[in-house]
Amino acid sequence: MEKYKRLLFEKIKNQIADWFDSEVELMISNEEVYRFLHSIKGTSGTLDLRGLYQVSTRLLESIEDRGKSDWDKKTLRDFLYEIISLAYQYEHFNDASAPLPRGDSDTEHVPLIQVIDDDLSMLILLKDALESKGWMVIAHTDPDKAVAQSYDLQADCFIVDINLEGRDGLEFLERMQRNAQYQLVPKIMISVDNSRETRMKAYKLGADDFIEKPIDMEELIVRVGRQLQRKQYVDNLALVDELTKVYNRRFLSNQLERSIQEFRRTRLPFSIAILDIDWFKKINDTFGHPAGDRVLVDLAHFLKEQSRTSDVVFRYGGEEFVILFPKTTESEAVAVLSRLLQGFSSLIFEETDETFSATFSAGVIAVTSASQESADLLRAADQALYEAKESGKSRIVSANKINPESRKKLYVSVIDDDAIIRAMLVKILQGMDMGKFTLDIAAYEDGKTFFASGRLEGDGEHFLILDGIMPVMDGLEVLQKVKQTNDSAHVLMLTGRKSEYDISRALKLGADDYMTKPFSIKELEARIQRLIKRMF
C-alpha cells in the first residue's frame, strides 16, 4: 500500500512539473485538468487517502461547473493550490507544522490538541487547519505513542480516527477515557462510518463529539473551539483537583498572592514547599498509569490528614504537590516535611500481587523579603527540589541554603548542516528564559559530529532540534540512532521533506514534533518554548 501511495504523489508531482515548469506560456485544456483530478480522486479513495480524496472531490465538483474553457498557468496554479500544497507536504516531511500565533508571549497557555490518524494526507490537513487558529497540534500515526505521551503533554483535546489501519480507534478512546476519567479532556472521533451504531458506541465510550468524513474544516474548527471553551470554563470554575481532591494550581496562585500581601503587611513569616514523588515514571511503567494515579491519590490524602490544620495542600501538576505553611519559619517547615516523608515512605502499596513503597523529595523556601514575588518563590522552591533529586532523592532541601542561581540543566543540541540556521537557532536559544532550566546549548553540522561528541550519553534531559535532510547522515538516520542511544530524548524536526514514507518513518522513530522550512523565527521560538515546558 505504501508503494502505491508514493507512486500517486510522484504522479501528481510530475504532472504539476509538466504544466508549470515550462517557460512557454501554454493553455491547458479543461478536459486534461478534469482527467487529472478524476484520477486523483479515484486512486486516493482506493488507497484510503481521505484528505487527498476530500480536496480532489471538491475541486472536481468545482471544475464541473466551469464549462469547457481552457486554463492559463496562473489561473490553474491558483485553482490547484491545495493539491500542490498537499503534494509538497508529502514530498518534504516535517509533520507539516502550521504557525503558532505570531508574537504570542503566553505560549504555555495555548491549547494543545493531539490528533491520531493513520491517513497522513488527512493528518496534514487537520494539523494545518487547527494550527491556523493558533492552537498547537501534535500529530500521531501511532495511537499507542499518543496515549503514552498524553500524560506528559496534558493535551486539551483529542481528535481520533475510528478507522485506524489494523486497529480500532474506539479501543484507544476507551483507554484515554480510563486514563483521563478524573478530568475533562474533550475527545472528538472522526470516521467515514457515520452509522448510528458506531456513533452510539463512541459516545458510550466517552466521545464528546463525532464528525463524519469528509470533514468540513470550517465546521471542525468551530466544534473544536467549542470543546476547548467548555474545557476552559470547567477548569476556571474548579478550585479542587479532580483526581486527588486537594486544591489545584489555580487556587494556589490566589492563596500565594494573599500570603505575600499578608507578609508585607505583618512581616510574619511563611514557607512554601514543592514535593515530587520519586521514581514515579518507574511506578507507571511497572504497574501501569492507574496504579500511579492511586499513589497520587494516597499521597494527597496522606498530606491532608497528616499535615497541620493550618497548612494547605495543592496539586501543582503531574506528580508534584505544593504545601503552603502559614506563619512558619524555614526550620519549622523542614521539620513538618521530614515527618511527612518518614510517614509516607512507610506506607505499603499493593498492585498485581506485588508490594512496593514510595518516597518523595521536596524543596522548601521561607519568604525573607517583601520584594519577593510568587514566581520567585516557586522558582526557588523548584530549584531546591531539583537539588534534592540530584543529591539522592527522598530528602528535603531548603532553597535558602543553596546557590540561588542554581538551575536544572537541559541539554539542547542543534544538528543542521546549514551554518546560517545553526547560528540563528543558537542565538534564539541563548535569548530564551526557561525558568527552572539552564540551557546547555551546542550546535553540530551533522549527525556524525554530534554522536562523536558523546553529548547524548551524558546524564540529564536532552532536547534536539534536528534537520531532516543532511549529508553524511540523513536526519532520519540520526533520529533512529538518537532513540537507540537515549530513548528519553525529545526531538523537534526541521525539514522541507514531507513524503508520506518519511512522515510515517519519523513519527514511528519517535519525533515529537516538526516544523517546515522556511519558518518564522517567532513561530519557532514559541514552539520550542512550549515543547520544553510541556515535555520536561
Helix (H, G, I), strand (E, B) or coil at 518: coil
State the average pLDDT for the chain. Answer: 83
Three-class DSSP labels, 54-86: HHHHHHHHHHHCCCCCCECHHHHHHHCHHHHHH
Give CA–CA dist 382/276, Å, rounded.
Answer: 10
The CATH number of whichever domain residue 309 belongs to comes to: 3.30.70.270
Confidence band (pLDDT; 50, 70, 90) for 100?
very low
Q: Which residue has the higher pLDDT, 250 or 188?
A: 188
Question: Are 124 and 81 found together in one domain?
Answer: no
Q: Answer whether residue 397 is part of any domain.
A: yes
pLDDT of residue 472: 79
Query: What cell was used for 513?
Result: 514534533
Question: Are 73 and 111 found together in one domain?
Answer: no
Question: Are 117 and 192 found together in one domain?
Answer: yes
Residue whose C-alpha is closest to residue 289's, from 278, 280, 298, 299: 280
Q: Answer whether residue 528 is part of any domain.
A: yes
pLDDT tens-digit map of 223-276: 999 999 988 877 767 788 888 999 988 889 888 988 998 888 888 889 999 999
Question: Are 279 and 346 found together in one domain?
Answer: yes
Q: Which residue has the higher pLDDT, 526 or 161?
A: 161
Question: Are 17 and 58 found together in one domain?
Answer: yes
Give CA–CA dist 510/504, Å, rounded.
Answer: 10
Confidence band (pLDDT; 50, 70, 90) for 104?
very low
Among the candidates 348, 383, 401, a domain finishes at 401
Q: Answer whether residue 258 is part of any domain.
A: yes
Q: Answer whether residue 98 is part of any domain.
A: no
Question: Are 380 and 273 found together in one domain?
Answer: yes
pLDDT of residue 491: 92
Q: Answer whether residue 75 is part of any domain.
A: yes
Query: What cell was used for 355?
Result: 508490594
Residue 107 has pLDDT above 60, yes or no: no
Residue 88 has pLDDT above 70, yes or no: no
Q: Answer whether residue 101 is part of any domain.
A: no
Mean pLDDT over 436-465 rounds to 87
Among the candidates 338, 373, 401, a domain finishes at 401
Question: Are 121 and 253 found together in one domain?
Answer: no
The CATH number of whichever domain residue 422 belongs to comes to: 3.40.50.2300
Q: From the CB of residue 265, how many other CB atoms can be counted at a distance below 10 Å?
A: 9
Q: Could you tell me if 250 and 239 are in contact, meaning their C-beta atoms sit under 8 angstroms apart?
A: yes
Q: Answer whether residue 97 is part of any domain.
A: no
Residue 155 has pLDDT above 50, yes or no: yes
Question: Are 218 and 299 found together in one domain?
Answer: no
Question: Are 176 and 227 found together in one domain?
Answer: yes
Helix (H, G, I), strand (E, B) or coil at 139: strand
Q: Answer whether residue 243 is part of any domain.
A: no
pLDDT of residue 21: 63
Question: Are 328 and 395 found together in one domain?
Answer: yes
pLDDT of residue 470: 84
Question: Are 204 and 265 found together in one domain?
Answer: no
Question: Are 267 and 173 found together in one domain?
Answer: no
Strongest mean pLDDT among 58-62, 168-172, 289-293: 289-293
Q: What range defines the domain where residue 148 resides?
A: 107-237
What is the full DSSP assignment across 334-383? HHHHHHHHHHHHT--EEETTEEE---EEEEEEE---TT--HHHHHHHHHH
Residue 499 has pLDDT above 60, yes or no: no
Among the candidates 91, 122, 152, a domain finishes at 91
Residue 375 has pLDDT above 70, yes or no: yes
Q: Which residue has the higher pLDDT, 517 or 360?
A: 360
Q: How many domains does one find in the chain?
A: 4
pLDDT of residue 362: 96
Give the bridge partners for 297, in sequence order: none
Assess whether the previous peptide bond of 326 is cis (omega < 30° from 0): no
Q: Could you tell me if 96 and 43 are in contact, meaning their C-beta atoms sit under 8 angstroms apart?
A: no
Q: Which residue has the higher pLDDT, 309 or 506?
A: 309
